[in-house]
Amino acid sequence: MAPVESLLSWGPLGGLAGDLGLDLGRTVIVTDPRIRKLHGADFPPCPVIEVERGEAAKSLAGLEGLWAAFLEAEVDRTWTVLAIGGGSVSDLAGFAAATWLRGVDFGIVPTTLLSMVDASVGGKNGIDFKGLKNLLGTFSKPRFVRFDPTLLDSLPDADFASGMAEVIKHGVLEGGDHFALLEASCPDRRAMDAAVLEQVVRRSVAYKAGVSLRDPREAGERRLLNLGHTIGHGIEAVTGLGHGYCVAAGLGSALGLAAGRPGANPAARKRILALLASWGLPTGLAEAAALARQAGLARQAGLAGGPGLSDPKAFREAVLSAVASDKKRAADKVHFVLPLDLGRVEIQALALDELSAFIREAP
């Protein structure tokens, strides 16, 4: 398998086929209707399969539908599946490609900031199951990832901010000049210079690609990339808020859980929370619930219609129930990523009782 860095390509979507030598007669594109409408004119001239937008695509029904489309298109082991879209498209298409005929090549053109810095890099693909995030999936690297930062020009501001949550997470993990770069970048994406934006994306991609190369199957260092995700995935399962917003809330919560522990740096915590807030991202459970309530979102049956989101106890118990089903749980403990300082993050096996007590009371 090629090193992660050799899979990465930078350039316009319209030049992808020629630059990467795609066999257009044996390539099928997987995308969603909005991305096709926005960027379809630059797609390579290949068959196109449309899937649902957003997290709804990542289901057993979505996977079965994509397999059926592969069968109809007569996709065999000589073909390439090309995912063009956000993280949900690449997660679904990557999983489908990895399991079709025991694996066919696939490539990704991420069209959102979140998918550029997170979903497209690292070779993890998956779908949701029983309301739980990425419970079914594979480790399978794409043959290539093509980055075109100009695709972000059409991205709504809220989606851009969602992607910044993962960017900030990487800055926290690496610390140093990486985090300083993010602090110096303008929090108004419309005023951000294109060169600065590309630098931010490249730095984030390079960090995650490096970690993924050193630990491809999440046996050690790569577990640090789960920073903000344990509580964040619980919030996402309950509220339906965008992934990045939930990661931001989970990161803010993790900072609160780390506070007062040996080595925890209050000044670093303040800087991280300030950077999250500057992008309009929630920094804890209460803020996430308020955003979901404003948007009229609720996923859990017990919160249907939103009234439960107004009840802090019901909301936190629902999040706690989702966290208890987290993939990182082992018996009565959860492998939790604690941010102690910029560039210094630790994984600790926390008792579920301790984590539960925190979630019930945390800001």
| CATH number for the domain that contains residue 282 | 1.20.1090.10
Residues 167 and 288 in one domain: yes
Give me the percent of the chain exceeding a pLDDT of 90: 80
Residues 135 and 191 in one domain: no
Residue 54 reports pLDDT greater than 80: yes
Q: Give the pLDDT mean for 279-290.
A: 96
**Residue 184 in tokens:** 């110096």
pLDDT confidence bin for 120, thresholds 50/70/90? very high
Distance CA 252, CA 4 (A): 30
Helices marked H in the chain — which ranges?
A: 16-20, 33-39, 60-73, 87-99, 113-114, 157-174, 176-184, 194-214, 229-239, 243-258, 266-278, 285-295, 312-323, 352-361
What is residue 302's predicted lDDT score, i.e. its pLDDT?
Answer: 47
| Predicted TM-score (pTM) of this structure | 0.91
What is residue 206's predicted lDDT score, i.e. its pLDDT?
Answer: 96
Residues 24 and 116 in one domain: yes
Residues 193 and 317 in one domain: yes
Residue 131 reports pLDDT greater than 90: no
**Residue 315 in tokens:** 């909301």
pLDDT confidence bin for 310, thresholds 50/70/90? confident
Distance CA 132, CA 46 (A): 34
Residues 135 and 162 in one domain: no
SS3 178: helix
What is residue 2's predicted lDDT score, i.e. its pLDDT?
Answer: 43
Residues 309 and 204 in one domain: yes
**What amino acid positions are annotated as catalytic residues?**
102, 124, 166, 208, 218, 222, 226, 229, 233, 243
Residues 109 and 189 in one domain: no
- The residue among 128, 154, 180 that closes a domain is 154
pLDDT confidence bin for 254, thresholds 50/70/90? very high
Q: Burial level of 265, CB count in 10 A (0-12/13-18/19+)? A: middle
Residues 145 and 173 in one domain: no
- The residue among 154, 177, 209 that closes a domain is 154
Q: At what angle do helices 243-258 and 285-295 cross, to 10 degrees?
A: 160
**Residue 100 in tokens:** 């079709």
Residues 304 and 332 in one domain: yes
Full domain range(s) for residue 19: 4-154
Residue 305 reports pLDDT greater than 70: no
Phi, psi (deg, nearest 5) at residue 33: -60, -40
pLDDT confidence bin for 191, thresholds 50/70/90? confident
**Residue 211 in tokens:** 């970690």
The residue assigned the tokens 């900072």 is 255
- The residue among 154, 185, 213 that closes a domain is 154
The residue assigned the tokens 């991280």 is 272
Q: Give the pLDDT mean for 218-243.
A: 93
pLDDT confidence bin for 300, thresholds 50/70/90? low
Distance CA 213, CA 205 (A): 12
Angle of CA points 152, 121, 73, to nearest 5°: 85
**The one-letter amino acid at 148:** D
